Homo-oligomer: A and B are copies of this chain.
Amino acid sequence: MATTDSRDPRVVRTHNDVPTVALRLLIDEGWEAVTPGRVAEEAGYSRATVYNHWPHRIDLLRDAFALYGKMPHFETSGDAESDLRGEIASFCRAMVEHRLDRALATLAERAQTNPELASIRDAFIADGERPMRQTVLALAEGPEAEAAVQMLCGMVTHSVLMHGQPPTSVVLNTAVDILVRGLTHRD
């Protein structure tokens, strides 16, 4: 059953529209473009409305990044190996189709010098890694699970941010093959 939101429907609409515009500006024009004034203008709300709900730029950014968490997730099947393949493919699609590459690049750079943004980044990454971690826990635990999550997520982040494109599906599937063999064949 869908959650019923008892707030004023106009408030609900503002709470959906404004972060959507903030995220689009972040992706299309970069960090500097995400100001309450600019977002108000683009979203068609008064500055007073935007400042009232999001007093600081950081509040806009937090809600903009949170939109990624509301996007449809990969539906797991319960088979760990095929779920890993599905989750990693879904992560790559978000990079390309929803420009998660741009959002992550900005987050990585700005979090280096902005502790508030570092806390948004930490929460965002923890949420993003959660499905992969859950699936990996069916195959491994402790440092093995952590190493597997960091290698799988890392392969995608590194390829996108450092090579400018996600790994090919052959490389992605080969990586899962290697990991599954490495986690199931113990010396």
Contacts and interface: CB of A to CB of B under 8 A. Distances in A.
Interface of A: 30, 101-102, 104-113, 118, 121-122, 125, 143-144, 146-148, 150-159, 161-164, 167-168, 170-172, 174-175, 177-183, 185-187
Copies assembled:
2
A109 B109 contact: yes
Contact of A178 (B104, B118, B161, B182): B182
A144 B178 contact: yes
Contacts of A118: 164
25 contacts: A102-B112, A106-B109, A108-B109, A111-B164, A118-B164, A146-B174, A147-B171, A147-B172, A147-B178, A150-B155, A150-B158, A150-B167, A150-B171, A150-B175, A151-B179, A153-B154, A153-B158, A153-B162, A154-B159, A157-B161, A178-B183, A180-B182, A181-B181, A182-B183, A182-B185
Contacts of A186: 181
A104 B181 CA distance: 32
Contact of A158 (B157, B167, B180, B183): B157
A154 B41 CA distance: 39
A128 to B, nearest CB: 9
